[in-house]
Chains A and B, each alone.
Chain A
């Protein structure tokens, strides 16, 4: 086996075309790693600078009415995961900045796609695209030529007379090509780590190891399947055509078809329908029988009763602050209801798309690549939920100050001191650890392992069958 492996490598290293192709591929990956890391660094620096500026403005606001400050608001910036230099995931379209203010829950904005016409047309060129699309194609051609050349040149007979079994010969070639793909993968990831100079945090190391594992399994699936098609097919070119057809189906048709089907099965509401339903619930009540004016009246009565007074002016606190907080809390319930069902639909969509991985391991690899890189939908929603949780605390602090800080009802000119605002903590968010999300990707791992077993079994059966009829 080792001899076959070394012979393959020797062959590649002495073939000019291969050398150029390999150097070109690795060169492109190194360049993409460099630019990817630079991009992440620049964006992270911009995020850090924006955070500083937002905080600076907040701390230099001077005495202000708390409700005015709630409208002034703050921002939540999504921190970049180091591995997003490798796989951008949904960050491309999902955005990274969320404005936090009173009364409304905004959407995350400033996506790469919204800021670049080029990216919106073609998408960014990331190392993950080369690793997911180009490297497997390279593996397919390499495997095809490695197996088929032995037949076409007539060496198989001589080799088998010398004592090698056909399965061993083909598996040796598969192994040689697979290890080559691992080298490409490790060089890419290693260069990113080297350029980044990222600290060797346990989570980062775990994610890096899992990225290598996911891609390694996928590459073994690709090389084993290609080799088994070569062994099955009596005519050389038909196996290549077949494997390329499979690749196109995996890469283009199945993801689109699956996306269309999942959207049809679990449709998401349009933006207009969604916001108008939210508005409706907020004004007419979640159950439709609890309109805003009635809610306000009931709340007013409960406050007057609690303080045992007849009029709002008699309250020792500022009723406006309490009312705004009550309205805020009702708004939160509306948000929880609508976003809750939205997240549920998204989760169902994700689960269904993951199941498609049973017939498309490429889909599972993409899902895992994004998931492990921390740039998938789950990570984005995690940020959004955490930001919303912070917004609620942030707005409550302002409303409480408005209510209990010393002002009276209707006193909109009242101002809280700067010290109060300085005491409100910023939004601190760290990306979740992989272990927090690991269970979400179980289906993807299962799909890849299943396909690996299928590919290896297919290779075993095909080569065994071919051994009995090698001519």
Chain B
């Protein structure tokens, strides 16, 4: 479902991606692990069609996202690191609005159930988002992505700001979606969360994958050691 073939992306003199190759299939959770500036967000922006690769090819469900924007809107859900919502709307109103934009219309009760399922306390669902913590906004973002029932999920540091319990809930939710056939790519530098959630892990350094691992084959300790070693080099 996601195919990245030898992609480079440069911003003037800076090379953000350098011959990146990546494939993520149906039912898979792939984690891109890398430090700041490794090219994780650039990869996600390329997949969202917001950037055009300098060279190489990117396919989402067989279509190039920067050429065919409908392949993104029709198949992709996205959770950014900082979910920006409308501060004057409540959580449930935000969810309703973003769903409405996607052409999804649900009753208020159904939306509330989704928010509850994503870990947002009922007592906060009708409060203005301006009163929310970062983690609470993140949960609304997850609910927006979940409601879209997308085939592809792109997550940029999705657990950022979430408490441990909410992070666990997110992991469970992502695994559930993958088991239902979703293709998930998450960018993170949270080693623990990545190992807990992903099937495969790619260590990204200077715009290229330097190591690819099966999460099941590696312990948290080994992953940390490998990661630190790559970062040091």
Q: Collect the chain B residues with CB atoms within 8 Å of residue A162's CB.
A: 73, 98-99, 101-102, 144, 148
**In contact, B103 and A11 (Cβ under 8 angstroms):** no
B-facing residues in A1-45 (Cβ within 8 Å): 3, 7, 10-11, 14-15
**In contact, A163 and B83 (Cβ under 8 angstroms):** no
Q: Is B97 an interface residue (CB 8 A)?
A: yes
Complexed CA–CA distance, A185 and B88 (Å): 27
**In contact, B100 and A157 (Cβ under 8 angstroms):** no
**In contact, B97 and A157 (Cβ under 8 angstroms):** no
Q: Is B77 an interface residue (CB 8 A)?
A: yes
Interface string of B92-109 (1 = CB under 8 A from A): 010001111111000000
Q: Is B25 an interface residue (CB 8 A)?
A: no
Q: Is A385 an interface residue (CB 8 A)?
A: no
Q: Is A109 an interface residue (CB 8 A)?
A: no
Band of interface residues on A: 20 to 34
**In contact, B101 and A15 (Cβ under 8 angstroms):** no
> Knowing A154-B80, A158-B98, A471-B45 touch, does A163 contact B73 (C-beta < 8 A)?
yes
Q: Is B201 an interface residue (CB 8 A)?
A: no
Q: Collect the chain A residues with CB atoms within 8 Å of residue B98's CB.
A: 158-159, 162
Q: Is B191 an interface residue (CB 8 A)?
A: no
Q: Is A161 an interface residue (CB 8 A)?
A: yes
> Knowing A3-B97, A3-B100 touch, does A161 contact B86 (C-beta < 8 A)?
no
**In contact, B86 and A470 (Cβ under 8 angstroms):** no
**In contact, A163 and B84 (Cβ under 8 angstroms):** no
> Knowing A154-B80, A158-B83 touch, does A164 contact B88 (C-beta < 8 A)?
no
Q: Is A160 an interface residue (CB 8 A)?
A: yes
Q: Collect the chain B residues with CB atoms within 8 Å of residue A3's CB.
A: 97, 100-101
**In contact, A10 and B88 (Cβ under 8 angstroms):** yes
A465 → B minimal CB distance (Å): 14
Band of interface residues on B: 20 to 34
B64 → A minimal CB distance (Å): 13
**In contact, B103 and A163 (Cβ under 8 angstroms):** yes
Q: Collect the chain B residues with CB atoms within 8 Å of residue A468's CB.
A: 66
Complexed CA–CA distance, A153 and B201 (Å): 31
Complexed CA–CA distance, A160 and B78 (Å): 10
Residue in B45, B69, B77, B93 whose Cβ sees the most chain A Cβ within 10 Å: B69
Complexed CA–CA distance, A10 and B88 (Å): 8
Interface string of B112-147 (1 = CB under 8 A from A): 000000000000000010000000000001001000
Complexed CA–CA distance, A155 and B77 (Å): 14
> Knowing A154-B84, A162-B98, A162-B148 touch, does A471 contact B50 (C-beta < 8 A)?
yes
Q: Is B166 an interface residue (CB 8 A)?
A: no
Q: Collect the chain A residues with CB atoms within 8 Å of residue B141's CB.
A: 158
**In contact, B102 and A163 (Cβ under 8 angstroms):** yes
Partner of A15, one of B80, B88, B144: B88
B212 → A minimal CB distance (Å): 27
> Knowing A157-B48, A470-B50, A471-B50 touch, does A164 contact B101 (C-beta < 8 A)?
yes
Partner of B73, one of A7, A11, A153, A161: A161
Q: Collect the chain A residues with CB atoms within 8 Å of residue B85's CB.
A: 155
B82 → A minimal CB distance (Å): 7
B158 → A minimal CB distance (Å): 13
Q: Is B72 an interface residue (CB 8 A)?
A: yes
**In contact, B50 and A157 (Cβ under 8 angstroms):** yes
Complexed CA–CA distance, A51 and B138 (Å): 75
Residue in A7, A14, A163, A470 whose Cβ sees the most chain B Cβ within 10 Å: A163
B69 → A minimal CB distance (Å): 8
> Knowing A3-B97, A161-B78, A162-B148 touch, does A155 contact B88 (C-beta < 8 A)?
no
Q: Collect the chain A residues with CB atoms within 8 Å of residue B84's CB.
A: 153-155, 158
B-facing residues in A202-227 (Cβ within 8 Å): none
Interface string of B146-169 (1 = CB under 8 A from A): 001000000000000000000000
Residue of A nearest to B72 (CB): A161
Residue of A nearest to B66 (CB): A468
B84 → A minimal CB distance (Å): 4
Residue of B nearest to A2 (CB): B100
Residue of A nearest to B79 (CB): A158
**In contact, B88 and A471 (Cβ under 8 angstroms):** no
Residue in A15, A154, A158, A470 whose Cβ sees the most chain B Cβ within 10 Å: A158
Complexed CA–CA distance, A160 and B85 (Å): 14
Which residue numbers of A lie inside 8 Å of B, CB to CB? Answer: 3, 7, 10-11, 14-15, 153-155, 157-165, 467-471
Q: List 11 A-B contacts (CB under 8 A).
A: A3-B97, A157-B78, A158-B80, A158-B141, A160-B72, A160-B73, A161-B77, A162-B101, A162-B148, A163-B103, A165-B69
12 further contact pairs, Cβ within 8 A, besides A3-B101, A159-B98, A160-B73: A3-B100, A155-B84, A157-B48, A157-B78, A161-B72, A162-B73, A163-B101, A163-B103, A165-B69, A468-B66, A471-B50, A471-B51
User: 4 closest pairs, A vs B, by CB?
Assistant: A163-B73, A14-B88, A153-B84, A162-B101
